[in-house]
Amino acid sequence: MRRMVTEGRRSQMLRGVLDLCLLAVMDEGPAYGYEMTQRLRDRGLAIVADGSIYPSLGRLERDGLVETYRAASNGGPPRKYYRPSTAGQLALALGVSEWRAARDAIDAVLGPVTVEVAHE
Amino acid sequence: MSDFVDHCRQEWKRLGVPDPLADEMAADLASDLGEAEGEGVSPEQFLGSSAFDPRSFAASWATERGVVPVPGSPGRARHRPLALVAFTGLAAVALTVAALLLLTGEPRLTLVTSRSGPPHAPALSAIPSLPPGPGHRVQASAATPVEWILLFLAIAALCFAGWLWSSWRRSVPPTAPA
């Protein structure tokens, strides 16, 4: 039960910044859908649940924040690669700035809390 | 896995997502699911709860990408002129036929109504070829040229078609300059 609540909260928090995370990982180099989930997972963001990466990529594409092209992957079928457009890079810079401001404010509230739950 | 993609395709078809876009999205999804499976990641691990609800997943993806036609969009409006063209064409043909029939001489098509019994004075006075006979039963024949009715209906239909065309033009957003 506690695990479900924790994962639900993490998933909700991630959903609010998933667009930024996707822009950030594709800014490291063009990537296709599954490749982006691998990069997120490598950084500890394994909970990209509900298949939300696809709607997010669709939204980024619709808003002109990414550029796409098709290219062959490693021995596999041609894949659709994404990379941030100029507008996407600007959105990423602004979003990171906003995130840091929000993170600092939340840290100011939650940081002093000393209550901890013993992990099983 | 293929069942999941098939369900997504059905949903995209139902939503009216253009086939090339649906093909592209289905191919991307199938490739990603295949790669995940190759790495031992199940669809449930990869897609979370969406793996059990392909229709919602497909609808969400298409909507966010902006490829679902909305009612009243230019895509739907393009279908309307086909019916309008057909209607306008029929009205024009009817008008032409009526005009030709009227111009080529005596009306050959008539609607005939018969009435028996005592004649009414106003009706009989309009038909001089049927003289009333006092105390006699007469049969009156009122002939109405079908050509005139057809002409009137064709003109009315053309006016209605013109109104529909102007209404349709107002509903279609202007084309963005290239």
Same domain, B93 and B146: yes
Enter the tokens of residue A58.
């669709």
- What percent of chain A shows pLDDT beyond 90? 57
**Residue B58 belongs to some domain of the structure:** yes
Same domain, B84 and B155: yes
Confidence of residue A7 (pLDDT cuts 50, 70, 90): low
Find the DSSP H helices in chain A.
2-27, 33-42, 53-62, 86-110
For residue A51, the distance in angstroms to the closest alpha carbon of chain B comes to 4
**Residue B129 belongs to some domain of the structure:** yes
CB A49 within 8 A of CB A14: no
> Whole domain around residue B32: which residue ranges?
2-68
List of chain B residues whose C-beta atoms are within 8 Å of the C-beta of residue A37: 46
CB pairs under 8 A between A and B: 63
- What percent of chain A shows pLDDT beyond 70? 88
Q: Is the pTM of this model over 0.90?
A: no
Give the least confident one: A23-37, A91-105, B12-26, B43-57: B43-57
Same domain, B158 and B90: yes
- pLDDT tens for each residue of chain B, 178 residues long: 578 999 999 999 999 999 999 999 999 999 999 988 888 988 888 888 788 889 999 999 999 999 988 765 555 555 567 788 888 888 888 888 888 877 776 555 555 655 555 555 454 444 454 555 555 554 444 455 777 888 888 899 888 888 888 777 766 554 434 3
Cα A37 to Cα A26, A52, A72, B77: the distances in Å are 11, 11, 18, 40
Q: What DSSP letter does each residue of B85-151 carry, written as one string?
A: HHHHHHHHHHHHHHHHHHHTSS---EEEEEEEESPPHHHHHT-TTS---TT--EEEEEEEEHHHHHH
pLDDT of residue B46: 83
Neighbouring C-beta atoms of residue A114, cutoff 10 Å? 5
Average pLDDT of A1-9?
65
Q: Across-strand partners of A68?
A: A82
- Across chain A, mean pLDDT equals 87
List of chain B residues whose C-beta atoms are within 8 Å of the C-beta of residue A34: 31-32, 35-36, 46
**Residue A90 belongs to some domain of the structure:** yes
**Residue A19 belongs to some domain of the structure:** yes
Candidates A19, A9, A22, A27; CA nearest to A106 is A9
B64 → closest Cβ in A50, A62, A77:
A62
Average pLDDT of A70-99?
91
List of chain A residues whose C-beta atoms are within 8 Å of the C-beta of residue B27: 77
Q: Which residue of B has its CA nearest to A60?
A: B65
Task: Give which of A4, A54, A57, A80 to mutate to test B binding, by max B Cβ within 10 Å.
Answer: A54
pLDDT of residue A6: 67
Q: ipTM score here? A: 0.81
Same domain, B137 and B81: yes
Domains: count for chain A:
1
List of chain A residues whose C-beta atoms are within 8 Å of the C-beta of residue B49: 49-50
Same domain, B39 and B64: yes
Domains: count for chain B:
2
Higher pLDDT, A74 or B44: B44
Phi-psi region of B134 (alpha: psi -120 to 50; beta: other; left: phi over 0): beta
B35 → closest Cβ in A47, A50, A76:
A76
Whether A61 sits inside 8 A of B29 (CB atoms) is no
Higher pLDDT, A50 or A63: A63
**Residue A53 belongs to some domain of the structure:** yes
> Whole domain around residue A51: which residue ranges?
2-110
**Residue B122 belongs to some domain of the structure:** yes
Q: Which residue of B has its CA nearest to A79?
A: B28
List of chain B residues whose C-beta atoms are within 8 Å of the C-beta of residue A42: none
pLDDT of residue B141: 46
